[in-house]
Amino acid sequence: MAAQPELEDTRRRPADRRHKRTAVTLLSLAGFVFVAGLYAWIYITNPGDDEADVGIVTPTCIPAAPTDAPPPAEIRLNVYNATDRNGLASSTAGEMRKRGFAILDVANDPSGRQVATAAEVRANPDSQAAANLVMAQVPGAVFVPDNRTDGTVDLVVGAAFEALAPPEGAPAPAPSATVTATPLPPC
């Protein structure tokens, strides 16, 4: 009898299945890494509307200097920078010193918190009148009560800070030709 040609085995070998599983797993992981990278790239290049996330408060009025506040010379003020702009705390402290405030410490914000508003004024609620006077110096500043026991007030300059309010008695700066917004009324 003649030898019959051997029939090929039509079943798949386990090694073939392992190679396919490996390829599918690697393609899935590569797709995941691609999607994560794309998401990160979009977030970095266009972070979107962060104002809603960090709770930026848009001022509706310009606070007037409180009448029950102590004189600026009696307000012991720390000026901190919560931004990456070099020298911002120092220049702000110099301006506040010219306005008569007793400047104690000038440094980067020791709390390390991000301040998205123009400034945070941190003080004990018992020092609210002094804090209000400091807030009147920075348009858009917000009061943040804390539990300190001394009467110091912290002025923490934030990302939206542009400049101090004009000192009392000084003429307000003339609006530029491109500004069409209505000035805010006093509070």
Residue carrying the six token digits 């995941």: 32
Rounded to whole angstroms, the Cα distance separating 133 from 141 reads 11
| pLDDT of 86 over the 60 cut | yes
Residue carrying the six token digits 């039509």: 10
Q: pLDDT per residue over 108-130, tens digit each?
A: 999 888 888 999 999 999 888 89
pTM above 0.75, yes or no: no
- Considering the chain, what percentage of its residues have pLDDT values greater than 70? 70
Q: Is CATH 1.10.8 the classification given to domain 72-157?
A: no
| pLDDT of 78 over the 90 cut | yes
User: 103: buried, middle or exposed (CB in 10 Å: 19+, 13-18, 0-12)?
Assistant: middle
Lowest mean pLDDT among 40-44, 46-50, 69-73: 46-50
| pLDDT of 184 over the 90 cut | no
Lowest mean pLDDT among 29-33, 57-61, 132-136: 57-61
Report the length, in residues, of the chain: 187
| pLDDT of 7 over the 60 cut | no
